[in-house]
Structure 1
Amino acid sequence: MKPNFWQTKNFISLFLYPLTLITFSINFLKKLNIKRNFKIKTICIGNLSAGGTGKTSLAVELNELLKDKFKTVFIKKRYINQKDEYNLLKKRGKIISSNSRIDALKAAEKNFDLAILDDGLQQKNIKYDLKIVCINSYEGFGNNFLLPAGPLRENSSELKNYDIVFLNGFKKNQKIKKKIKKINKNLKIFDSIYEPTNFKEYNIKNKFLFFCGIGNPHEFENTLKKFKFKIKEKFIFPDHYSISDEIIDNIKDKANKNKLKIITTEKDFLRLAKKQQKDINYLKVKLKIQNINKLKKFLKSKI
């Protein structure tokens, strides 16, 4: 979960502000690297802010749009705590995961036409054909401070170097759009919302308990509420949290005592052990992109 002080300029964020020089310096040094070209076409989907912004969901949607034209592959840098995202991508297409994105791209060149990278905008030694930034429409840039005083992995001014912005979430944030255009008037901005695809499997007359350990848990809760799920209990954990048997048993006991159905995200479900998954359902969602034809036209001109 993201700290609340990231959203405003307050005593804690101002106290930590001098430490942002470390993040700034690291980013500056990264820019000195020589960019490497690859034979394969590349789309990198990243974010400026730490935490969940919809990168993986967007990677899946772009793959659906482009897989008939190109032989596509997902590239996901290997992190021990991100097996959930790896498993989600693996269900949707081919994937290459490595400790090095450069090594993954070398491998991808041999058999594929187009690589879709889930994260990697802050890796400055790779020349990407298309650079996409995902922003959570509810949180935006927070207090606009770099880590650790704020949520930004790099300055929002870096938007001048990117091609597309996706504002993901239910909130229509015109303030963020104006700020983005002020930084880079040529950036294409698209809105998208999370839409359940297995909604008909649920009886919304039931009462529900939900749990999740994702970057933006409020988006999952907003989705459930938007589609009229009656939420009576919730358990929220840090992003990529590994839930113990004891916690799962506690969740199931609470649900049984209060006659609640248990629901979670697909990412959280895939993170559970097989025995933990019993009596737990997940809401499968897709990122519904607004003005999809405009996006297709843009992608055709760039890729």
Structure 2
Amino acid sequence: MTFFYNLWYSNSLQYKLISLMLYPFSLLWIIIDKLKFLMTKPYTSHLKIICVGNINVGGTGKTPISIFIFKILKKMGHNPIFLTSGYKGKISKPCIANNDVILFGDEAIILKNIGPTVVSKNKLEGVKYIENLNSKRKIYDIIVMDDGLQNYSIGKDLCFLTVDRKSLFGNEFCLPSGPLRQSLNSCKKNINKIILTGNRNFKKNHNILKKDILNSYIKVDKVSVKKKYLAFSGLGNNVKFFDTLKSANYNIALTKEFEDHHNYKENEIADLIKLANENNLKLITTEKDIVKIPKKYHLKINCLKMKIEFDKQDLISLKSLLKNKLND
């Protein structure tokens, strides 16, 4: 992933030239995406559907934002349910998630710990599965869809685009010459609001899509700088996790990166513990990673608990938007 990260986000002339060489393939990607949009008739559910997604490959904080919105809806008196694809999980048909991370994937377990969660590789089948759950007795009134902006088979009532305020859209090209799964012009037509995510330290606020922006931030507990850590993660954007730790004054002596949604083997955990002990370091990882590590190791590994907070006025705007759209 390091090569592609540099290709998409670096200002190096070398990477810019490689990106331009790949651009014809990006045009093909855009054409295919446009054809998918034109040839797909979206299904309209009787349930309200809120989609929290991104267009960048890698992490932009959509899952924490999905959770934040879910909690707001609960406080408003709604009965929402999560819908996620269960990426890298082995479940084949729509199903309510339990604690089996191998079956449902890490994101589903995190969501399931907050509220009821349906996992479905096919999001449209997932929507119909939830509707069927409601057929005998109305249980849920809103579906919070974690990811799915590029899924044109489902009509959505409200769409949020999460964007990391440090990385933004990289070189603004579609795959493979850039990090985007959808062109910026195409995306602009399908979203209601942009939610900037990440650390306060990064002040970039480039609104290329000319859409209203809501500012969210990661909040973590402060710790003593005397403690030194070995930080490890298997995310779409591991650097973002390490930056978050450093911005909160965690003394990070070593880092170890794994591929996105990595399923840890026992020997890998043993090696991490050994490396930390040899260097007199404490281990720290993410909530997404800790659910894939056997519980017998949890006492030896710190898990960073991250909270999302919004600027006061932006939080008011978010709540107002949810209230107005859901009452249409």
Instruction: Supply the distance in 1 between the matched residues of 2:233 and 2:192 (Cα, whole angstroms).
Output: 32
Instruction: Supply the distance in 1 between the matched residues of 2:52 and 2:115 (Cα, whole angstroms).
Output: 16
Q: Does 1:254 align with 2:262?
A: no
Instruction: Supply the distance in 2 between the matched residues of 1:267 and 1:67 (Cα, whole angstroms).
Output: 23
**Aligned equivalent of 2:239, options 218, 228, 231:** 218
CA contact (8 A) 2:88 2:261 kept: no
Deviation at 1:47, TM superposition (A): 0.7
Q: Does 1:161 align with 2:190?
A: yes
**Aligned equivalent of 1:19, options 25, 45, 48:** 25
Moved more, 77-86 or 278-287: 77-86
CA RMSD across the alignment? 1.7
Q: Does 1:195 align with 2:219?
A: yes
CA contact (8 A) 1:245 1:276 kept: no
Give the corresponding residue for 1:121. 149
After superposition, residues 28-107 of structure 1 pair within 5 angstroms as: 28-31=34-37, 32-68=39-75, 69-80=77-88, 83-107=105-129
Unaligned runs of 5+ in 2: 90-103
Query: Could you say what secondary structure the match of 2:105 adopts?
Result: helix
Instruction: Supply the distance in 2 between the matched residues of 1:155 and 1:80 (Cα, whole angstroms).
Output: 25
Instruction: Supply the distance in 1 between the matched residues of 2:324 and 2:121 (Cα, whole angstroms).
Output: 32
Query: Could you say what secondary structure the match of 1:271 adopts?
Result: coil
After superposition, residues 260-271 of structure 1 pair within 5 angstroms as: 260-271=281-292
**Aligned equivalent of 1:145, options 169, 173, 185:** 173
CA contact (8 A) 1:73 1:116 kept: yes
Query: Could you say what secondary structure the match of 1:140 adopts?
Result: coil
Query: Could you say what secondary structure the match of 1:272 adopts?
Result: coil
Give the corresponding residue for 1:301. 324
**TM-score w.r.t. length of structure 2:** 0.85
Instruction: Supply the distance in 2 between the matched residues of 1:74 and 1:204 (Cα, whole angstroms).
Output: 38
CA contact (8 A) 1:46 1:132 kept: yes
Unaligned runs of 5+ in 1: 182-186
Structure 2 CA distance for partners of 1:26 and 1:78, relative to 1, 3 Å? farther
Instruction: Supply the distance in 2 between the matched residues of 1:288 and 1:165 (Cα, whole angstroms).
Output: 15
* 2:33 partner letter: N
Deviation at 1:142, TM superposition (A): 0.6
Instruction: Supply the distance in 2 between the matched residues of 1:241 and 1:78 (Cα, whole angstroms).
Output: 13
Moved more, 137-146 or 72-81: 72-81
Deviation at 1:203, TM superposition (A): 4.9
Instruction: Supply the distance in 2 between the matched residues of 1:25 and 1:78 (Cα, whole angstroms).
Output: 28
* 2:188 partner letter: L
Q: Percent same amino acid among aligned pairs?
A: 35
CA contact (8 A) 1:46 1:55 kept: yes
* 1:155 partner letter: S
Instruction: Supply the distance in 2 between the matched residues of 1:236 and 1:42 (Cα, whole angstroms).
Output: 35
CA contact (8 A) 1:30 1:123 kept: no
Count of paired positions:
293
Give the corresponding residue for 1:134. 162
Give the corresponding residue for 1:112. 140
CA contact (8 A) 1:45 1:131 kept: yes
CA contact (8 A) 2:86 2:107 kept: no
* 1:100 partner letter: N
* 1:127 partner letter: G
CA contact (8 A) 1:30 1:125 kept: no
**TM-score w.r.t. length of structure 1:** 0.91
By relative contact order (CA 8 Å, sep 6+), the higher-ranking structure is 1
Give the corresponding residue for 2:203. 172
